[in-house]
Every structure is written in structure tokens, then in C-alpha cells.
Structure 1
Amino acid sequence: MKLRFWPDTLYGRLVLILVVGMFAGQLFTSTIWFETHDNRTLEIPARLFASRLADTVRLLQHAPDETTRHAIAAELADQRYRLQWIDTPATAPAGSLAQRTVSDLIAGVIHRRLGEPIEVRLLDVQLRDETGRHHGILSLFNSRMPSGDFHLQLRLPQGEWLDVQANEGQAGMLTEPGTLVLDYLLRIYLVRLTAVLLLALVAVRFAVKPLKELAKAAEALGRNIHRPPLPVTGPLEVRTAAQSFNSMQEQLSRSLAERTRFLTAVSHDLRSPLTRLRLRMEMLPDAESRERLRGDLDEMEAMVGATLDAVQGVEITEARHEIDINSMLEGLAEDAREAGHDVSVEGRANRPLSGYPRNLKRCLQNLLDNAIRYGGAASIRVSDDENLLRIVVSDPGPGIADEALLERVFEPYFRVSGSRNGASGGTGLGLTIARSVAAAHGGTLTLRNGAVKGLEATLALPRDGRAAELSWKIG
């Protein structure tokens, strides 16, 4: 099942990976920040505790005998400073970085105060909030004056071991947990992640830009195989892909050229036997047989010619030009009128259209011929705006009753009537060529039946040359 939060684009995926990776890394490295603030919060209680402990050791080491030492220890002890004599010390745990730092701090203070080192084993150290509960590192955020609980064992110069448990505060200093949280979240998470997000958006966009250019080139190749080769720039992987793309384009171009030459040669070779058949047909004594053979030969020649026209019609072999759509449509309509057909043109294009003149004229001619063939007349309506030019070719004919066939009529050699008679049903290639030419101009083509009768064909061509909606309406 596809994850909803996983973007569909490579751009989005790379940005998400970078941001999530940075956030995860920040979560791990934030422990360093917590350790640092934990140490800073414990520093004052640890120094107070170490100073008090150093004074205790000084008094005890100057006591004349063991009884006096024990009496002094009992006198110095209270609820927040408990002293107990032990025979065997416990093994100090490895502890965290904070515990090791506090242990070194206490030992250092005692050493400086007494002038000699004292063996200290820190067994435990914790922060306590103002309610007296141990919340661990969360005490940094929910208490204005957290205190430190210390449990250690030290060895006196006389060799005796003393177990000490004490609680020390901040000596009147207050912390601001709310400010601390805001400072941490704002400066470390929000600011840093915002910076990473902006950097990822810019860097990833720059990194995937060559891939977008490659995708645009692949899309353009489908419309014009003779387009200029893709520039071989960018990272090594992109340059390799561009070289492969250009090589593929060259091979496809050669293949299509070879196909055209092959079909042209076949057409040329077929015309000779067809001409001989036509001569022999005229020598037949039976008039009815001659007429049937004449119809078959006419259809064969029409099929050969239409096949060649289809190959030549969908190939883009010319450069883009600014096309005067109004003059092109008026010229096509005038030619149809001279042939005795009723053709009208309504509306005008606001400005020339960038495209391939020969192919676009072929597309419009096929639409006009299709309308005249099935409707006896044609109406051309033009609408133009800033982004899209629409040319609607309609006829008053019967249309297509079966809605399911509105898309199938674009298939090569498919005709709704089912007739193979070129005079009545055409060759079945006109709409195929028209849609291919429309796609080459970045447009789309659809068909639909009219509200009353007839067939409408709407050709929509984008003004910027990119893919846009192209619909044919058959009425």
C-alpha cells in the first residue's frame, strides 16, 4: 500500500529525506545539549556540596581519635546531610557523562580546599524538582530552582570510609524553565530546521532541474522527433542519460526515415502492377466484371496513397513558424466552396500561432473533409484567448450514435460505417493523422455528438507550445 505522506515527485522525496534526516540527527545530538544544561544545573549544588564535604573532612582528619571523629560526624549530620561510617565501600558505577563530570568536580574542589587528593566514589547524582520528586532531566524544564541529590563514599586520610548522602540547592539562584524550553525549541529546532528546509528546497530543486529538462525533452520528442538534441550538461549521471537520450532520438529518427523510404518504395513498386491490372481489366469483354474490378483497383490505390499520406502527415520535418490561422482557415474554406460545398467561418484568431504550417494545414483539411463527407457542409468556429486557441469544425450530419465509438474513430483504418469503400467511408486515417498533428502542437483531440444532430470537432492548441487540452466535439 502506498504511503500517504510519501511524495510522488523525486523533488518532494529528496526534500522529505533531508528534512527528516536532519530532524532525526538533531534529536540524537540534542542529548549533548541536555547533558550540558544538566551539568550547568548541577554545577552550583555540586560545588556547595563539595565545599561542605571538604570542611567535614578537614574537621574529621584533625580529630584526635575515632570516638571524636564519630561524634563530630554525628554533630555535622542533618536531614539534608547524612553521614554514615562504613567498613567496605561500594564499587562506583561507570555512570553517565554528567555523573563523571560531577564526580571530577567534587574531587577537584576537595583537592583544592584540602591541598591533597581524597578518593571519592560517586554512586549516584540526580536532579530534584521543587516538589521533591526526581524527574531526571525534565527537572530542567519544570522547576525554577532544582536541587541536586548526591550519594558518594570517600576515604579519609586515616583510612576510614564515610558514606555521604546530601541534598544541595542553587544557593538562591533561579532558573527560567519556560525560557529554557523556548530558547531550545526556537533556536535549535525551529531556526535550524527552517534553515535546512529552505536549503533543501533550493538545493534539491537545483539538483533535479536536469532531470526535469530530460523529462521535458522526452515529452517533446513524442511531438517532434526532429527536435534539437538535448544539451549534455549537469552531473555525470545526467550527462550519461542525456547522451543515451540523444542516441535514442537519432536511432528513432533513422528508423522513421527508413520506414518512410520503405513505404515509398513499396508504393512505387505497387503502382506498376496496379497499372497493368487496370489495362488488362479494360480488355475484359464483360462490362459488369470490369466495373467491379475497377472499384477494387480504385480502393487499392486509395489505400496505398492514404498509407503514405498518413506516414508523411504525422512526421514533423519542418521548423516552427508563426502561422496566420485566419488566412489558413479562409483558404481551406474557399477551396471547399469552389468544389461546391457549403463552408462558413466564424470568429478570428487574435494573433499568429507558433506551429508547423504544413502539418497543421493537413490536420484542418482532414477535419474539414470529414465534416463534408458525412454532413455535406461544414461550419468552422474560432475562439482565442491568452493561453488557448480553439477551432471547432462541425457538420449537420448524423453524428455517431454509439458513444463508445467516439474514441475508436481515432484508430487507424477504423470507420463507423464499416464500409471499405473509400468514396463513402474514407480510408480511416484522417482522424488518426489529425490527432497526431494536434499532439505535435501540444494539444489534445476529442469527439462528441451535438445537442441536436451532427458532429463537432474542437481542436484546442496551446499558445505556449506546451501540452494542453485538445478536445474534439462530435455533435
Structure 2
Amino acid sequence: MKSDATKPRLANTLVVRLLATLLLVIISAQFLTALIWYRQGAAKENEGLISTVNSLALSAASTVAFFSSLPLEYRHLTLNQLRKMGGSRFFVSLNNHEIAIQALPDSQRKKMVLSEVRKVLNQELSTDQAITLEFTDRENLRVFNTEVRLDEVPQIWANYSLSLGELNPPILVMQIEISPTEWLYLAAILPAPFVLLDTPFMDTKQWFFMGLSSLLLVFFTWLVVRREIRPIAKLANAASAMTEQLDTPQLAEQGSEELITATRAFNKMSLRIKNYLRDRDMLFSAISHDLKTPIACLRLRTEMLPDEATRKKFENALNELDFMVKGALQCIRDTDLHEDIEPVDINHILQQSAELYGRYDKQVTIHGQVQQQYLGKPLALKRLLNNLVENGIKYGKRVEINITELQQQLHIDFRDYGDGIPVPQQQQVFEPYFRLSKQKQEGTGLGLTIARSIARSHGGDISLRNHHQQGLIVSLTLPEH
């Protein structure tokens, strides 16, 4: 019976699992490499940043010292000259109060820069001067006593010191009190390549390169793995086909050395099994033919015995011998059916069995049905089901058949209303010629032996248990294909 649940899931195939593992290893290696690179690069970058910030702070201290040394009336004149000349590395203004700055979010690099600048300024300037340091962005930068936006002042005043092409770097604002009524306002950007306060772990180009390299590696690995796994799939299909039909062709030995070795071993095993089964068939055919003649001769000699009692004993012994030989050969024929796997209608077989063995007083009742046709050997399954129904009628008078389909298994329970079987003997009844009663009974004593052999050849099994009220339950389990 075909079921979607039994089909191999794509996510559970060897190719997908190998590719997923490989992709995980690639991504982990890329991240580990990026992390090591980031930490080493960040350490070197911080060293360069400290040196650059130190130079910037020294320049700021020199500017503060220069303006502090100028007379009050010359300070604004000097500022105007600086603006007409295009400014300096700082945007400089003199304000009569401290301007509130809208600060950027804190970060490790921001704290490091501000700490270094403050340390240098404290070393170079008078300790009684108030110093305010903060980072802001261009849009929120306020300048002059009127606290106008930077974009509202002439561009020539700020473009030289606070512009860096299309980038919008953070701006460091330093306000130093040089007199009770004057604050020197210095604004500057960090020089390249330290224009940003936060260094991204991986930029867009690195992400793109990592993704592209991972995809290319996974793609070519998929091609190689798919090529190597193809012989494994063929080997698995041949092994499955061998359970259904013995006349399977030899597999081509290809692939890796390990696959070639496995394929060669499988071909040898397949050939040995074919030869064994052919020899066994020939042996039992010979036994069937050769035993008929001596048994017939013994029957003739028995008829010639003068003593009636002795003749009767010999006849019983010969009948039992003939019965056992025929039973053994019948067991071989019933369990060794060379059939192709075909869709089998289990419901139809059970209905036929019910009509054949339970035609009187509805001795066989069926509950439930199989939803789809089952893939198996038609004659073997028919003998299996007929044997179980026949045994239930013979020993239990009446049989109830209950059909249950689980996700990957088909369960059929045959409940009779006989005396049941003692638990210690529930496995012995599957042995050939075993009987619970020592009295002579009809049949060969091979019914359950044949039934279990057929069930196991289909990948299933048969188990027994006594019903808690009365009778025996024979449970047949078959896997869905």
C-alpha cells in the first residue's frame, strides 16, 4: 500500500543532510574568520584612532591657547579672517554661553575618543577651565549665540572643516570656557579612516562575498555528492527489488572504491542466493519424485502381510510418513512463491474468505476496511489470510476480523471464540507439526508456520494473545509500502 508517509522525505535524504552540514560548517568558518579579522582589525584601528585623536586634541588645545592669548577686541576679527580664508580643521566660534548639544547614542568608541580628548585638554589647558565635549550629527548641530543650524550659515564657513563628501560623519563639539562671558566653540570631524564611531562587524560587501562563496561551494558539492550517491541509490533499489523478485540483473560496479566493493559483494550475494534457491527447488523436486516409488512399494508389501494387526500398523505408519512428506513439500510450495509484487485488494480476499469459510450463520464478520490496495504477492497473501480465517473457524467456531490502519502499518486482528492457547505455548504453535492436542486432527499442522513465513516475507509478522473474555486473537501486522 503506497503511503506518502513512507516515501523518503527530501529533508532526510543523504544529499540534503550532507549539504546542510557543509553549509553550516562554511557559515561557521566564515563567521569565525570574520570575528578574528574584526577583533584584530579593531585593535589596530583603535591604536590608530588614539594617535589621531591625540593629534586632534593637541590642535584643539593650541587653538584654545591661541584665542585665549588674543585681546578681546581681536578675537572676533581673527575669526572673520579665518572664515574668509576657508576656515581651519575646526569650525570655530566665540559664544557668550554654552550651547546645548543633542548627543549621539553612547558607544565604546565614542567613550574612548571623548576620554582621550578630555585627557589631552586637561593636560594642556588650565585646570580651572570648564570643558564640555560631545558628539552630534550635522542635522542637529547648533552654532553661534543664536543657536542656528549649521546648514543655515554660509557653506564656506563649515564645508572645509565639517564636510567629507557624501558621508555624514559624526561631529565632535568641544566648548571651552576661556573667560566668564566667553566660550570657545570648536567643532570637527574625525579624520579618515576613523570617521565613524561604530565599526560594523561585516559590511555589505563581506556579506555578499560570504553568501556567494557559500552558494557556489554548496552547488558544486551538491553536484559531486549527487554523482557519488547515485550508485548507492541503485544498490538500495536493487536490494528492495530482490525481496520482490529474485531474477534481478547484476549491478554495474561504479563510483568510489568503497561503493565498488559493496556493489561487488551484493552481486556475489545475489548470485549465491539464486543458486541456493535453484538447488533447493531441484532437491525438493527430487525428493518428491524419489519418495513416491518406495512408499508405493511399501504399500504393496504391506497389503501382502498375512497378519491383520501388523498390516494395520504398517498402513498407519505409511500414511503418517506420506502425510508428513506431502506436508513438508506443501509448506515449501506455499512459503516460496516466486511472484511479482502487485496491487492486492485485501478487502476482496477477506470477503471471499468470509463467504468460503463462514457461509453458515455468518461465522465470519469483518469490521473496517483497507483504504488502498496493498503491494504484495497475490497468491501468498491469499493463502496467508485464508489460513488465518480457516484456523479461526476450525478451532473457534466464529471469527471477527478487525482492520486498523496506522501511519505506516496495516493491522488485521482475527478473533475467534475457542478455548485460546496457553501463554507458554503461543510461540510453539508456529513450529512445524506442533499440535496442542495429541489426538489425530485434520490438517498438516503447518498452517500458522506457513502464515508467519508469508507475513515475514512481506516485512510483517504474526502474534498471538488470548482475549480477556474468550477466545484467541491472531494479530497480523504488515508494513505499508
Smaller-chain TM-score bracket? 0.5 to 0.7
Matched, 1:423 2:441: yes
Counterpart of 1:439 (choices 447, 456, 461) is 456
| Alignment partners' CA distance in 2, 1:452 and 1:193 | 70
Deviation at 1:41, TM superposition (A): 3.6
| Alignment partners' CA distance in 2, 1:176 and 1:49 | 16
Structure 2 contact 238–248 (Cα < 8 Å) conserved:
no
Partner of 2:389: 368
| Alignment partners' CA distance in 1, 2:287 and 2:207 | 77
Residue aligned with 1:446, SS: strand
What are the within-5 Å matches in structure 2 for residues 335-354 of structure 1?
A: 335-336=356-357, 343-347=363-367, 348-350=369-371, 352-354=373-375
What are the within-5 Å matches in structure 2 for residues 99-178 of structure 1?
A: 142-144=108-110, 146=112, 175-177=196-198
| Alignment partners' CA distance in 1, 2:13 and 2:405 | 34
Residue aligned with 1:413, SS: coil
Deviation at 1:276, TM superposition (A): 1.9
Structure 1 contact 323–353 (Cα < 8 Å) conserved:
yes
Structure 1 contact 388–461 (Cα < 8 Å) conserved:
yes
Q: Residue 276 of structure 1 aligns to which amino acid in structure 2?
A: C
Q: Residue 180 of structure 1 aligns to which amino acid in structure 2?
A: P
Q: Per-residue CA shift, 1:393-448, capped at 9, x if unaligned?
A: 3322211121x5434443x42635274x7736843x32232223223334332222
Q: Per-residue CA shift, 1:123-151, capped at 9, x if unaligned?
A: xxxxxxxxxxxxxxxxxx944365799xx
Q: Residue 395 of structure 1 aligns to which amino acid in structure 2?
A: D
| Alignment partners' CA distance in 2, 1:276 and 1:10 | 64
Deviation at 1:265, TM superposition (A): 0.9
Q: Residue 461 of structure 2 aligns to which amino acid in structure 1?
A: T
Unaligned runs of 5+ in 2: 1-11, 58-106, 117-189
Partner of 2:473: 456
Residue aligned with 1:328, SS: helix
Q: Residue 260 of structure 1 aligns to which amino acid in structure 2?
A: D
| Alignment partners' CA distance in 1, 2:362 and 2:294 | 39
Matched, 1:31 2:50: no
Matched, 1:413 2:432: yes
Residue aligned with 1:144, SS: helix
Structure 2 contact 403–411 (Cα < 8 Å) conserved:
yes
Structure 1 contact 343–378 (Cα < 8 Å) conserved:
yes
Matched, 1:307 2:328: yes
Deviation at 1:202, TM superposition (A): 6.4
Q: Residue 398 of structure 1 aligns to which amino acid in structure 2?
A: D
Structure 2 contact 460–478 (Cα < 8 Å) conserved:
yes
Change (3 A) 1:265 1:40: same
Deviation at 1:269, TM superposition (A): 1.3
Counterpart of 1:322 (choices 338, 343, 352) is 343
Structure 1 contact 343–380 (Cα < 8 Å) conserved:
no
Deviation at 1:270, TM superposition (A): 1.7
Q: Identity of counterpart residues, as a percentage?
A: 28
Q: Per-residue CA shift, 1:46-91, capped at 9, x if unaligned?
A: 5788999xxxxxxxxxxxxxxxxxxxxxxxxxxxxxxxxxxxxxxx
Structure 1 contact 341–377 (Cα < 8 Å) conserved:
no
Q: Per-residue CA shift, 1:360-417, capped at 9, x if unaligned?
A: 1121232233323433454445566897654433322211121x5434443x426352
How many correspondences in the alignment? 345
Partner of 1:358: 379
Partner of 1:124: none
Partner of 1:224: 244
Deviation at 1:259, TM superposition (A): 0.8
Partner of 1:260: 281
| Alignment partners' CA distance in 2, 1:392 and 1:430 | 17
Partner of 1:272: 293
Q: TM-score, normalised by structure 2?
A: 0.55
| Alignment partners' CA distance in 2, 1:35 and 1:16 | 29
| Alignment partners' CA distance in 1, 2:111 and 2:208 | 24
Deviation at 1:204, TM superposition (A): 9.5
Q: Per-residue CA shift, 1:285-327, capped at 9, x if unaligned?
A: 4444434433332332232222222222222412233334344
More displaced 10-residue stretch of structure 1: 387-396 or 270-279: 387-396
| Alignment partners' CA distance in 2, 1:201 and 1:266 | 58
| Alignment partners' CA distance in 2, 1:230 and 1:171 | 75
Deviation at 1:26, TM superposition (A): 5.4
| Alignment partners' CA distance in 1, 2:214 and 2:427 | 50
Higher relative contact order at CA 8 Å, sep ≥6: structure 1 or structure 2?
2
Structure 1 contact 15–201 (Cα < 8 Å) conserved:
no
Structure 1 contact 15–204 (Cα < 8 Å) conserved:
no
| Alignment partners' CA distance in 2, 1:376 and 1:283 | 43
Change (3 A) 1:196 1:262: same
Q: Residue 454 of structure 1 aligns to which amino acid in structure 2?
A: G
Q: Per-residue CA shift, 1:81-113, capped at 9, x if unaligned?
A: xxxxxxxxxxxxxxxxxxxxxxxxxxxxxxxxx
Residue aligned with 2:414, SS: strand
Partner of 1:400: 421
Structure 1 contact 322–352 (Cα < 8 Å) conserved:
yes
Q: CA-atom RMSD, angstroms?
A: 5.0
Structure 2 contact 23–214 (Cα < 8 Å) conserved:
no
Structure 2 contact 455–462 (Cα < 8 Å) conserved:
yes
| Alignment partners' CA distance in 2, 1:255 and 1:372 | 38
| Alignment partners' CA distance in 2, 1:432 and 1:182 | 70
Change (3 A) 1:345 1:195: same
| Alignment partners' CA distance in 1, 2:425 and 2:218 | 51
Residue aligned with 2:465, SS: strand
Matched, 1:180 2:197: no
Unaligned runs of 5+ in 1: 1-7, 53-140, 150-169, 467-475
Structure 2 contact 27–214 (Cα < 8 Å) conserved:
no
Structure 1 contact 375–396 (Cα < 8 Å) conserved:
yes
Change (3 A) 1:18 1:374: same
Deviation at 1:262, TM superposition (A): 0.7
| Alignment partners' CA distance in 2, 1:295 and 1:197 | 80
